[in-house]
Structure 1
Amino acid sequence: MAQMTSHRRAWARASALGRISLFACALACSLALKPAFAQNAVAYQPALNASWAGHTGKALRLIDAYLAKHPNDHAAQLDRARFLAWMGDYAKANDALAQFGPDDEEATALRARVMAWAERRDAALGLNAPLYAADPSDYDNAWTQALILRQGEWPHQALPALATVQSIKPDSRDTIDLAKAVRLPLFSWVGLTPSVYSDSDDIEIRTTTLDSMLWLSDRWRLLASVSHRRHSAAFGGPFAPLIGDNHVNENRVGTGLRYAPSPDTALELWLGNSRIDNGSGGNSKVIGHLQLSQRASDAFRYAITLDRDRVDASPRALPLMRNGLAADLHWTPTLRDRFDARIAGDDFADHNQRTSVLASYARAVYRGERAMIDVGLQAEGQHNSRNTNNGYYSPSRYRRFAATASTYIPFGQEVGLYLSAALGRQKDETFRTWKRAIDANAELTLGIFTHWQLVGRIGYSQRLNQSGYYEGTNIGLQLRYRFCEFRADRCPAVH
């Protein structure tokens, strides 16, 4: 039996990670502040000229050559760290700044900005807050403070510092880029998401979802969604409905609230109704989730989710309900390394119980103007208490190990491509030997900072197991309109 549920969920998680990486990279590329260079030419002027022209890689090579002959040039050392940060290599930029003492105010200010770009909010505040408190009207200090405070659940905290930046240099490109980044988390949005999943087991799931998020206040957000899904499978096969035609229609509707009691913590409650109809009658079930998410530190964040939903692996499985508890853990011990894990337990209506773990490690191995590359490892395991034969994969002991690679490729400020792949081996209790397991995903985003945003996604899985050759694809689009004009004080216009 093909592993449909695990595949589709793995694709969804990879897509979410892709969106996070894409946004972080796009933010770094679009907020490349120019340092306050002296008006007179300096000894490494060609490097500065290259950086002004947007050729940061060339600038870095030129300044490295200069520093090889003049290793004690303080200004050149700082500019080299800037170039590294502009390329998204925050780890190397931080390493370059570590040689400067705490009394070097310029190095401290730059390090604060690097930490802000790297989403190390506490470390960035610890460095920049004293500088900002001492001189809140300084453009650079206010710029960094706004970049820091836009992170987390209370991005409105960045607005006073942004106002200072805009009052000093309202028409500067740096100011305009900062305003885009600060106001983006404050947008409400409405989105339309069509998608198609199909696999070699003749299962097809077509989904159309209309969803929205509306800012009610600085702590409250309103969520709503409406979906229609058509689940199909070959008539008479192991995944077709037990009663009725070869497909089941499902309509879902729900609404929820997200509350942020602090900049680091959020509570989300979403409740809805799912009604299915297979042509021989239908039934309705309550679905929903309760989630606690928290940023515990710069390096660690987590989310705990309690949910109730249908088993959406196939038309035959759809009438079954599932109660689940999951923990999503994210740990970044360094600026180069990231660990992610999802630990879940599910209780099914057919008396099956499942425990599963998906863990991954990724390391930033390359940061350049044209691409950012991470490589890593992934491990997955699943245990079910019984093999149900109810239209979903329920092995007693499933294991998978894979090598992974991902890259983000920017095409200017508003377009970015995220690619990821996993090549590994898999086995469950029915396999005589370990078998191949390949997954690949791509996500293209158009309009990273604009009101209208279009995201195209495609996922492919090719797995060879004892029951035969399996491959599946998942293709989807997300069209989203982001708006906040009805709260102009929270979404300042970009000059």
Structure 2
Amino acid sequence: MTSRRRRFAGGRARISVGLLAGALACALPLAPALAQDAVAYQPALDAAWAGRTAEALQLINAYLVEHPDDHAAQLDRARFLAWLGDYAGADDALAGFGSEDVEATALRARVLAWAGRRDAALALNAPLYAADPEDYENAWTQALILRQGEWPHQALPALATVQAVKPDEKDSVDLAKSVRLPLFSSVGLAPSLYTDSDDIEIRSLAIDTNLWLSDRWRLLAGATRRQHSAAFGSAFAPLLGDNHVDEGRVGLGLRFAPTADTALELWLGNSRIDNGIGSDGETIGHLQFSQRATDAFSYALTYDRDRVDASPRALAVMRDGLALDLAWTPTLRDRFDARIAADDFDDDNSRTSVLASYMRAIHRGEHVMFDLGLQAEGQHNSRNTDNGYYSPDDYRRYAVAASSYVTLGEEAGLYLSAALGQQKDETFDSWKRATDLRAELTIGIFSHWQLVGSAGYSQRLNQFGRYEGTSVGLELRYRFCEFRADRCPVVR
């Protein structure tokens, strides 16, 4: 069961895809339109300006119970909800305003932009921006909308207006960081360590780079050095040679975005392994087509060829795979994700698998976001190969999943996820426990230098007793675009 266990312990199956991105968006302020003069609900405004948004929301809710028709208060309540990251609540609060209400329309466009509903936000804000392209608020929202997708450079004209009108405003500085960050190139260094109760240990050191070539092209390159080890005589050790296998891999790729909603990525490389008595080199790589079909639905289709990296023995096995990744957000509170895959191995095994999850936004607060949902997984292999990787005929897993993002400031955040459930394959006489935990700390969210530390833990009960696997990793990344100074924000 090592392959599956390490996949979860390593964190490849995130509980809530996109939660981090939404939380990072909350770190940037919505350009406020709150009244400057004293009003009847001034304590709520004072609390909001002081950063006590949850308190402000409570105060304005109490005020609206007595004054339900106060138009300005209703709009400010929607703003408070958006500041808390509750975009669904903010959108619901604005649903009752008519299209003729320009202020409500502008605010709803910004809320939808934060929520990732680019097309819907653009439909509302584009007419306002076209009517008055020099207006600070309209330009601010337009830049926020257009930074999304494969062509973030489309946001630069609107950003230029924002910076011309209020160059030193904090909202302008933060927007510049958010808009320009996707245009940066980057280079990263990532060491990691995986260990488990099957005495498998995998040490890895990787370096990668992502270089901006033009608005549609990016160059990808990377190199990795890994050492896989297992106890002599175990089912996971190499059949010949040492108890460990050294692997070196290098690769080069291109990413092309023909439209703002589609991308094509090709990456090719070579993987060479050495078990102490000889070496073996193989071509690896992937070809991926991804598309954001609508505001609510996106997908990616990937063909890849790689080694089976579950254990030292499994490294000798090559795999050709086809995977379809689906993401559907029918509402601003609900998200469905699925990965459907078919793999063919050169040891005469074939595999079909599916991993699906549903997550619902439960809480949005000043410092904590929390989602709750379900996971389901299934896997079928044509044969049990005994080649050092898990290949069941009928594996099933169901779990309750939870994830949370904790804001630690504008430049730091902590992502936590857990899946607690039951698992079973054809060899089990009953359902057994399955637990996965993961934490990821990000420092330098909008800075040139970024450090990401991660840790994962997986526990399984099976026919052979208790399995435990852990993984830890660091990623140090430097992001730059100094060779295009017109696109680089000043990091203050």
Same fold (TM over 0.5): yes
| In 1, Cα distance between equivalents of 2:491 and 2:311 | 47
Alpha carbons 2:355, 2:375 under 8 Å: kept: yes
Q: 1:34 to 1:159 in 2, by over 3 A?
A: same
Matched-pair contact (CA < 8 Å) for 1:23–1:448: no
Which residue in 2 is equivalent to 1:34?
32
Q: Give RMSD over aligned pairs.
A: 1.2
**In 2, Cα distance between the equivalents of 1:401 and 1:96?**
36
Equivalent residue in structure 1 for 2:362, among 360, 365, 369:
365
Moved over 4 A (4+): 11-19
**Partner of residue 430 from structure 2, selected from 426, 429, 433:** 433
> What is aligned with 1:128?
125
1:401-425 deviations in Å (ceiling 9; x for gaps): 0001110000110010000000000
Matches within 5 A, 1:9-28: 9-11=7-9, 14=12, 20-28=18-26
**Alignment partner of 2:324 out of 327, 330, 341:** 327
CA distance in structure 2 between the aligned counterparts of 1:265 and 1:10, rounded to whole angstroms:
29
SS at match of 1:60: helix
Does the alignment pair 1:187 with 2:184?
yes
Structure 2 residues without counterparts, runs of 5 or longer: none
Q: What are the within-5 Å matches in structure 2 for residues 308-323 of structure 1?
A: 308-323=305-320
Aligned to 1:405: 402
The offset of 1:252, in angstroms, is: 0.3
Q: 1:63 aligns with which of 50, 60, 67?
A: 60
1: CA distance between counterparts of 2:190 and 2:257?
Answer: 26
Q: Which residue does the alignment assign to 1:173?
A: 170
- The answer to whether the 8 A contact 1:125-1:145 is kept is yes
- 494 and 141 in structure 1: CA distance in 2 versus 1, 3 angstrom threshold: farther
Contact 2:15 2:403 in 1 (8 A): no
Partner SS for 1:488: helix
- Take 1:148 and 1:6, find their aligned partners in 2: how far apart are those partners? 38
Q: Give yes or no for the alignment of 1:216 onto 2:176.
A: no
CA distance in 2, matches of 1:297, 1:88: 22
Instruction: Decide whether aligned partners of structure 1 residues 380 and 90 sit closer, same or farther in structure 2, where only a CA change above 3 A counts.
Output: same
Deviation string, structure 1 residues 22-75 (Cα, Å, up to 9, x no partner): 23212222223222x333200000000001000000000000011010000000
- Decide which of 95, 99, 113 is 2:110's aligned counterpart: 113
User: 1:8 and 1:465 mapped to 2: Cα distance?
Assistant: 15
* 1:295 matched to 2:292: yes
Deviations 1:255-300 (A, max 9, x none): 1000000000000000000000000010100000000010000000
Q: 2:215 corresponds to which letter in structure 1?
A: D
Q: TM-score, normalised by structure 2?
A: 0.98
2:41 aligns to what?
A: 44
Match of 1:394 among 383, 391, 395: 391
Deviations 1:426-479 (A, max 9, x none): 000000000000000000000000000000000100100112210100110000
- Give 1:345's match in structure 2, choosing from 342, 345, 350: 342
CA contact (8 A) 2:8 2:458 kept: no
Superposed counterparts of 1:250-265, under 5 Å? 250-265=247-262
Percent of aligned pairs with the same residue? 71
Counterpart secondary structure, 2:316: coil
Q: Which residue is 1:469 aligned to?
A: 466
* 2:278 equivalent in structure 1: 281
Deviation at 1:8, TM superposition (A): 2.9
Pick closer, same or farther for the CA change 1:90–1:11 going to 2, 3 Å. farther
SS of corresponding position for 1:180? helix
Aligned residues: 492
Please name the residue that 1:93 is paired with: 90
CA contact (8 A) 1:247 1:315 kept: yes
Gapped regions of structure 1 (runs ≥ 5): none
Q: Tell me the SS of whatever aligns to 1:285.
A: strand
Q: Distance in 1 between matches of 2:219 and 2:10?
A: 23
Instruction: Give the Cα–Cα distance (whole angstroms) in 2 for the partners of residues 181 and 275 of structure 1.
Output: 40
SS at match of 1:360: strand
Displacement of 1:236 in angstroms is 1.1
* Paired residue secondary structure (1:315): coil
* Matching of residues 441-460 of structure 1 within 5 Å: 441-460=438-457
| Pairing 1:241–2:238 present | yes
Equivalent position SS for 2:325: strand
Task: Answer whether contact 2:10 2:456 (CA < 8 A) is retained.
Answer: no
Q: Which of residues 129, 136, 157 is equivalent to 1:139?
A: 136
Q: What's the CA shift for 1:11?
A: 4.6
SS for the counterpart of 2:56 is helix
Distance in 1 (CA, whole Å) between partners of 2:12 and 2:269 is 25
2:222 is aligned with what amino acid?
S
Assess, with a 3 A threshold, how the Cα gap between structure 1 residues 487 and 91 changes in structure 2: closer, same or farther: same
* Aligned equivalents of 2:18, 2:5: Cα separation in 1: 20
For 2:137 and 2:9, locate their aligned partners in 1 and report how far apart those are by CA, in whole Å: 41
Instruction: Indicate conservation of the 8 Å contact 1:431/1:465, yes or no.
Output: yes
Equivalence for 2:353: 356
* 1-structure distance, mates of 2:83, 2:370: 16
For residue 109 of structure 1, give the secondary structure of its aligned residue in structure 2.
helix
Q: TM-score by structure 1 length?
A: 0.98
